[in-house]
Every structure is written in structure tokens, then in C-alpha cells.
Structure 1
Amino acid sequence: MKLKLNMDEMAEDFFEDTRLLGIVAPIKSYQFCWQLNHLFRLNFRINPDVEIPLTRKGRLYYFAVFEYREPNSSLCHYLYNNQNDGEYLLPEFKHLDFLWLMKGDVVGDATLHNVINSIKAINAVQLVTELTNEKIKNKGHLIF
């Protein structure tokens, strides 16, 4: 008997109660994290345990994921690099540099709107947009 992993079901579970932002900011990830940490008083840190490996054109690419867990809350923030050496974590969003996933607790519209407006105030940021689940073709690439 063979067991088959249901990726659609897994993606649905993973993305339950999440909000995802796409960000265009052509700067290094550590610089962007520093800006976010400073602006929001967060503590994004790279987490090698949730780095995303993808094989493309016979080569393995690793996409860094930065993580911040809010104290006294189940809300966790993940900042993904969308690009690595000409390859993309989400190829359907090649114009995006970063993806910010908020997961583990409900993030209301007002809070999300405030986060978006604050990110837009960072000099290097050119665009911030919410990505809805329906728009993402390669959801499985974000699951760790």
C-alpha cells in the first residue's frame, strides 16, 4: 500500500489563519530585516531550520526564511527571500523581493493595513501588497 501526501490539504492547513504580504524592496535581506526590526520593534532572525530548498534546472537553491515569534502570543512572523541567484520561490511573483507571512493567530484588517502603511514608509520599499491564497500557484514552496 502506498500513501500519498495530499499537498492541497497540507497547504490548506498551513495557510489557515494566515496573512501574506508581497514586498518589492531591492535591498539585501539582512538590511530589510534590520529596517523591519527597528520600525516595528521586532526581532527577525534567520532560521536555518526552515530554509526552503528547491531544485531548479538540476541545481539546488536555498531560500532564506527569517522568523520572529511574538512573546505571549501564538502569532509568528516569517519573512521569505523570494529570489536566489536568478531563481524564485514563487515564480508567479518574480517582481517581489520578499514575502511576509503572519501565521498562528488572527491578524485583523486594521492591523494589516497599519503594517502595510508602515512598511511603505521604508525608503527602499517600492510596493507592498496582500497576496490572497487564490493568487498563489506554488503554495507548497512556502511550507516548511
Structure 2
Amino acid sequence: MKLKLDFDDLADDFFDNTRLLGIVASVKNYQFCWQLNQLLRYDFRINNEIEIQLYKKSRNYYFSIFEYREPTTSLVHYLYHNQYDGEYLLPEFKHLDFLWLLKGDIVAEDFMQQLVTGIRSLSPVQLVTELTNEKIKNKGHLIF
């Protein structure tokens, strides 16, 4: 008997009750996190244990993920850097610099709007847009 992993089910479970933002901001990831932490009073920190590693063109590419856990809820914020050395975590969104995944709790619409407004107020940010699961071809790349 062969057991087969169903990656579609895995992805569906991972993305259940998540919200995903795409952000264009021409700034280093650690500088962006510092600005977000100052503005939103968050505490984004790099989490090397969940870094995404992709193997393309006979070499490895590493995509860092910064993490912030809301202190009073089960909501966790993950900030992915979409680009590493000319490769993209989500190649269908090459124009995006960062991907912000909210996971672990239901996110209210008013909270989401406040968050988007806050992110947009940062000077290096040119665009913030919500991405729907249907638009993401390589959603498996976001699973850690």
C-alpha cells in the first residue's frame, strides 16, 4: 500500500482562516520590520526555524520570515520576503517585495482595514493589496 501526501489538502488546511497581503516597499526586510514595529507597536523578529528554502536552477534560495504573535489572541503575523538573489517565493507576484500572512485566528474586517492603512502610511510603502487564495499559483511555497 502506498501512502500519498495530498498537498492540496495540506495547503487548504494551512490557509484556512488566513488573510494575505502583498506589499511593495523598496527597503531591506529588517528595516521594514523595524518601521512596522515602531508604527504598530509590534515585535516582528526573524524566525530562522521557519525560513523557506527553494531549490531552483541547481541551487538553494532562502526566503526569510519574520514573525509576530499577538499577545492576547492566537493570531500570528508572518512577514515573508518575496525575493532572494533574483528568485521569487511567489513568481506570479514578482512586483511584490513582501507577503504578510495573518494566521491562527479570524481577522475582522475593521482590524484588516486599520492594518492596511497603517502599513500604507510608511514612507517606503508604495502598494498594499489583499491577495485571495485563488490568485496564488504557488501557495505551497508559503507553507513552513
Q: TM-score range by the shorter chain?
A: over 0.9
2:51 is matched with 51
2:82 is matched with 82
2:28 is matched with 28
Q: Describe the SS at the equivalent of 2:2.
A: coil
Shift of 1:4: 1.2
Structure 1 runs not aligned, ≥5 long: none
Kindly report the root-mean-square deviation, in angstroms, between the aligned alpha carbons of the 2 structures.
Answer: 0.6
Provide the rounded CA distance (Å) in 2 between the counterparts of 1:106 and 1:39. Answer: 23
Shift of 1:2: 2.1
2:7 is matched with 7
Moved more, 121-130 or 68-77: 68-77
Superposition pairs of residues 87-98 of structure 1, within 5 angstroms = 87-98=87-98
Aligned residue pair count = 144
Moved more, 86-95 or 64-73: 64-73
Shift of 1:108: 1.2
Q: Describe the SS at the equivalent of 1:66.
A: strand
1:129 aligns with 2:129: yes
1:139 is matched with 139
Provide the rounded CA distance (Å) in 2 between the counterparts of 1:48 and 1:2. Answer: 33
The TM-score, its normalising length taken from structure 1, stands at: 0.98
Residue identity matched to 1:94: K
Shift of 1:72: 2.2
Shift of 1:111: 1.0
Q: What's the CA shift string for 1:97-140, capped at 9, x where partnerless?
A: 00000000011111111111111110000000000000000010
1:114 aligns with 2:114: yes
Shift of 1:10: 0.4
Residue identity matched to 2:69: R
- Identity level (%): 67
Residue identity matched to 2:73: S
Q: Describe the SS at the equivalent of 1:99.
A: strand
